[in-house]
């Protein structure tokens, strides 16, 4: 099990996603960024905001990090997520791609 330190933008992502205002996460994304969640792609500010206010906010969850790997612009985090959603708990792998300004340019979530 690896527990590498995470870039500040990734730490901020998890802090904001655990909070009540998930739309605040949108500020962490680079222009033209994308999110892939449950096989559905969201590209750009409008679609990412739609994902944050819909799919990403649908259930109350708590998470615990199981593993992290930090390879510069590519960061992977494995979480155990529990909550009031069907199939809970579930382990999710979240892959971040960061740009040179350390904003999120890509986010892929897989079970």
Task: Assign 2 to helix, strand or coil.
Answer: coil
pTM recorded for the entire structure? 0.90
**Token pair for residue 72?**
């510069």
Q: Distance from CA of residue 6 to its chain's centroid?
A: 13
Look at residue 75 in the predicted model and tell me its pLDDT. Answer: 97
Q: What is the pLDDT of residues 90-102, one digit of tens each?
A: 999 999 999 999 9
- Tell me the C-alpha distance between 11 and 36, whole Å: 19
User: Please, are residues 107 and 32 in contact by the beta-carbon 8 Å criterion?
Assistant: no
**Residue 3, pLDDT above cutoff 90:** no
Look at residue 89 in the predicted model and tell me its pLDDT. Answer: 94
Q: Which domains does the chain have, with CATH numbers?
A: 8-110 (3.10.450.50)
């Amino acid at each position: 099990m690896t527990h590498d330190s995470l870039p500040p933008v990734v730490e901020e992502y998890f802090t904001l996603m655990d909070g009540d205002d998930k739309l605040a996460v949108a500020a962490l994304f680079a222009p033209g960024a994308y999110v892939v969640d449950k096989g559905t792609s969201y590209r750009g500010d409008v679609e990412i905001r739609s994902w944050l206010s819909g799919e990403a906010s649908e259930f109350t969850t708590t998470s615990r990090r199981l593993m992290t790997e930090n390879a510069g612009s590519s960061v992977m985090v494995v979480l155990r997520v529990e909550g009031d959603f069907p199939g809970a708990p579930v382990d999710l792998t979240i892959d971040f791609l960061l740009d040179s300004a350390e904003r999120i340019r890509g986010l892929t979530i897989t079970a």
